[in-house]
Structure 1
Amino acid sequence: MQAARIQSRRYSMHAPNAKKLVLCLGAVSLLAAGIASASRLPGERSNEQRSSKSSSKQTENAYPNAKRNDPKTDMPGSLGTKLNKAQEAASDGEADKAIGLIDEVLADKKVTPYAKAFALYLRSNAKWEKEDGAGAIADLKEAIALDALPNSNQFPAIYTLAQFQLQEEQYADAAKTVDQYIELSGDKKAEALAVKGNALYRADKFQEAIDAMKLAIAASDKPQDSWNQILMASYFELNQFGEAAKLSESQLQKNPTDKKLIQQLASIYVNNDQNEKALQLLTDAKAKGLITTADDYKLLAQLYGQAEKPAEGAALLEEGFQKGAIQPSYDMYKLLGDSYALAENETKAIDAYGKASPLAKDGEADLLRGQLQINNQLWAPAKESLTKALSRGVKRQGAAYVLLGNAENELGNKSAAIAAMEKAQSYEETRQMAGTWLKMIKGGGAPKKK
């Protein structure tokens, strides 16, 4: 009987789905923000533009390291007016109206490359709002390919395309698009590198994801939690538990009472076969009053078992039950029984398995209880437990029949004992043992204990 190995091969990161992390960078809002920089088309200067030359210069210098020069922009006034109305409709949540106006612009014979690119840019946003990801991506690609937008729109369009591709699970394309954005714009902002790292992680390119995320984190004064989560998950996928531990330890130093970080680091230690460090970490957490939930108690009790300290694990679980932190359940009573069994306190183990039994979906707890009752020569209770185990289903049926035959024999039920041992003979793992018992029972005795 062994304490259950704490499973965390696929690092959970306390997120609904590790492989489906979504970096909340606000793709749509970024797109809208990019458009806002050119929301008044040529010939329609806003009050802000007229009153603030410094603002205009700031917009012009948004990408000082760009390898692309701003193209000349020209747009008939009638088309500019219609596109402004489309943008206003989109801002008001009237996506269908916006798309209708944009389609009119695209069908107009007077449409210029700039007007077409800008119209496609706007329509991609409207389609995204309508949850038409494929359409939004297609329009954005076409707008970018026209190469007619000013840098203040062209580069946000490329960046937004990467985010759309990430959301639509086009991971390889998203990573390439981020590279295109950085190459052309000269902007190596942390958010862009994080989008790339996210895409690479979800494309199972874990080492590349690590490299990208480390650059993103280094480039930011306030890295998002999700960036560290993706970096951590990538370390896990490559079994780089030492690196994962360093990252988690540095985070825990900043937030020493963060229970999620403590559990995360404990999980890392377990995966790196550092059970003692995990146990010490959680023991210290308990001293700080941070072990409060059933899951907390369960993890620490499992670690006690793996550290060959099952008595401490059993005492911990009893405390959890007494405090009401642990509610009655099959898993927790089963773990309590396992802990007592490993600690060789068979009387309490029998009691714990008995509490697990009515909450069980199968007969495994009954089998364990029956085995311990046999050890303690509790023949009638053992018969009851083993009969129940077999009726409810167990994995080791041969062993259950051998134990049942033993109990029946000790109770003087020779025919029942023979019947049980004969059934045990039909299982490969207990065939020889059952045969030996049958010979002895039929001969009026029982096998001598070794």
Structure 2
Amino acid sequence: MQRNSKLLPALLLSIAAGVITTPAPALAAEKCAVDTRKTRVVSERVGKRIQKAYELYSADQVDQALELLLEISTSNEFDKAYVSRFIGNLYAGKDGQAQTAMKHLKVAIDIDQLGGTDHAAALRLMADLSIQERKFEQSLKYYEQWMAFTCKEDTNVYLRMATANFELKRHDKVLPLADKAIATQTSPNKGPYTLKMGSYYETKQYTKAAKVVEDMVRLFPSDQRLWVQLAQMYMLSEDYKRSLYTMDVAYRNGYLEKPSEYKMLAQLYAQNEIPFRSAQIQEEYLSSGVVEKDEASLSMLANTYHQAKEIGKAITYYGQVAELTDKSRYYMRQAGLLMEAERFKEAKTAARKALDAQGLKSAGEAQMLLAQAHFYLEEYAPAYRAAQAAVKDSKTAKTAQGWVSYIQETAQRKKVQL
């Protein structure tokens, strides 16, 4: 979390002139410690040096101001607290000095003698620096002290406390704090909604996460990516129809950006038993180069066209993935569909390629496809040889033996020499 660059001047002005930070709603009507604590002033000797340090800071001579403050020897606890807080504020404005700033702020806080506004500001800065440095337990401690001391509610404090608990994986504590941040904000801010959604997601409460994102879509219409998030939450909660509708809205409006999102849309069409539309989208994103033509994407497209009973398209894409990978299973699928389409010459070619390709699990199955293709082309001698080869494979031996006999009978009837 980046620190607000405007924070330091406001804090320093509060030291010099007692400026009160922006008011927030009171938690209770009675007087709080911030209001009842008496105002005190530093000793004259220390006050002169503090004034000089402030003048140096105002002239952008921060290092010189720090040097002056670090040399001050205090004679009482109040002076020590006041100087320590000033030093802490100055270090807070320097890159990489948050740890040093917290060391000095802790001194001021532990003495617990600063005026109400100053002590409250020290607590708040200590909490903000702690969360910045990922000291989440410590940040919660000081935010709670700030709330107890000031009796105030603050949207950013609730939001940062929710963030700290989220980082600590205390998701049950994130939700009420995020709700308080939402209740106290003057205009919608995505932060607490995102934390709520994230907490529901992390605890696998996907339906509740989807409800939060529904609110976000309504409240933040300019954030187009929320439509994709909503579709993802619906999908995780197994509400595939809503997920498809939402993802399709995102697609039609040009909100999809990542290859995984286009794949998700295609998957949703397939899950909703609309395989032809799924295949069309896959074909579109492969043609445009949004998704790479690799084994996974081409085989998915071939399978989807197969499910849609678009046999010609399935044959084409099984052929493409087979040529890309040289894997027998894709040649086998292509050969089987070519047989189904009665494209026997092409089936012969695919079956032969399957026999020579990588990873062939059953030579007998490829030989059977080859035998059948030859047979239907009335090429009985090569059909007979392929069927005999398939007999040698235990997986196809019984079926192949039947085909051997059938080919013999057919060849004999047609007076063809085998």
How high is the TM-score relative to the length of structure 1?
Answer: 0.69
Instruction: Tell me: CA distance 1:86–1:338, structure 2 relative to 1, closer, same or farther (3 Å).
Output: farther
Give the superposition deviation at 1:70: 2.8
2:13 matched residue in structure 1: 36
Larger CA Rg, structure 1 vs 2: 2
CA deviation string 1:140-161 (max 9, x = no partner) = 2222111122222211221222
- The aligned runs of 1:9-408 (5 Å cut-off) are 22=1, 26=3, 29-38=6-15, 40=16, 59=20, 65-68=31-34, 69-87=36-54, 96-105=63-72, 108=73, 110-128=74-92, 129-256=94-221, 258-288=223-253, 290=255, 294-321=259-286, 324=288, 326=290, 328-330=292-294, 332-352=297-317, 355=320, 366=327, 369-376=330-337, 378=347, 380-381=349-350, 384=353, 390=358, 400-403=359-362, 406-407=365-366
Instruction: Tell me: CA distance 1:132–1:246, structure 2 relative to 1, closer, same or farther (3 Å).
Output: same
Preserved CA contact (<8 Å) 2:155 2:185: yes
Structure 1 counterpart SS, 2:33: coil
Which whole-Å CA distance do the structure 2 matches of 1:343 and 1:279 have between them?
A: 18
Letter in 2 for 1:437: K
Structure 2 counterpart SS, 1:59: coil
CA deviation string 1:167-188 (max 9, x = no partner) = 2222222222211111111111
In percent, how many aligned pairs have the same letter?
Answer: 22
Structure 1 counterpart SS, 2:32: coil
Give the superposition deviation at 1:319: 3.4
Which whole-Å CA distance do the structure 1 matches of 2:274 and 2:71 have between them?
A: 75
Instruction: Tell me: CA distance 1:409–1:385, structure 2 relative to 1, closer, same or farther (3 Å).
Output: closer
Greater relative contact order (Cα 8 A, min sep 6): structure 1 or 2? Answer: 1
Preserved CA contact (<8 Å) 1:304 1:310: yes
Preserved CA contact (<8 Å) 1:371 1:382: yes
Which whole-Å CA distance do the structure 2 matches of 1:161 and 1:339 have between them?
A: 58
Instruction: Tell me: CA distance 1:439–1:314, structure 2 relative to 1, closer, same or farther (3 Å).
Output: closer
Structure 1 counterpart SS, 2:114: coil
Which whole-Å CA distance do the structure 1 matches of 2:86 and 2:321 have between them?
A: 61
Which whole-Å CA distance do the structure 1 matches of 2:298 and 2:79 have between them?
A: 70
CA deviation string 1:334-377 (max 9, x = no partner) = 54334324434454345445556788xxx5x9465234124236
Letter in 1 for 2:336: N
Give the superposition deviation at 1:117: 2.0
Larger CA deviation: 282-291 vs 200-209: 282-291
Which whole-Å CA distance do the structure 2 matches of 1:208 and 1:158 have between them?
A: 22
1:436 to 383, 394, 401: 394
Gaps of 5+ in 1: 1-21, 41-48, 50-55, 391-399, 422-433
Give the superposition deviation at 1:206: 0.5
Instruction: Tell me: CA distance 1:312–1:203, structure 2 relative to 1, closer, same or farther (3 Å).
Output: same
CA deviation string 1:306-338 (max 9, x = no partner) = 22222111112333455x373544364454334
Letter in 2 for 1:436: S
Which whole-Å CA distance do the structure 1 matches of 2:302 and 2:75 have between them?
A: 77
Structure 2 counterpart SS, 1:436: coil
CA deviation string 1:387-427 (max 9, x = no partner) = 66x4xxxxxxxxx33146643676699xxx9xxx9xxxxxx
Letter in 1 for 2:81: A
Gaps of 5+ in 2: 340-346, 372-381, 405-418
Preserved CA contact (<8 Å) 1:200 1:206: yes
Preserved CA contact (<8 Å) 2:228 2:255: no
Which whole-Å CA distance do the structure 1 matches of 2:395 and 2:273 have between them?
A: 34
Give the superposition deviation at 1:439: 6.5
How high is the TM-score relative to the length of structure 2?
Answer: 0.74
Preserved CA contact (<8 Å) 2:319 2:334: no
Give the superposition deviation at 1:131: 1.2
Which whole-Å CA distance do the structure 1 matches of 2:208 and 2:136 have between them?
A: 25
Preserved CA contact (<8 Å) 2:49 2:68: yes
Which whole-Å CA distance do the structure 2 matches of 1:127 and 1:286 have between them?
A: 49
Which whole-Å CA distance do the structure 1 matches of 2:177 and 2:269 have between them?
A: 38
Letter in 2 for 1:75: V
Preserved CA contact (<8 Å) 2:228 2:256: no
Which whole-Å CA distance do the structure 2 matches of 1:125 and 1:386 have between them?
A: 77
Give the superposition deviation at 1:80: 3.4
Instruction: Tell me: CA distance 1:100–1:315, structure 2 relative to 1, closer, same or farther (3 Å).
Output: same
Which whole-Å CA distance do the structure 2 matches of 1:140 and 1:295 have between them?
A: 48
Give the superposition deviation at 1:272: 0.8
Letter in 2 for 1:66: C
Letter in 1 for 2:46: L
Letter in 2 for 1:369: Y
Preserved CA contact (<8 Å) 1:74 1:112: no
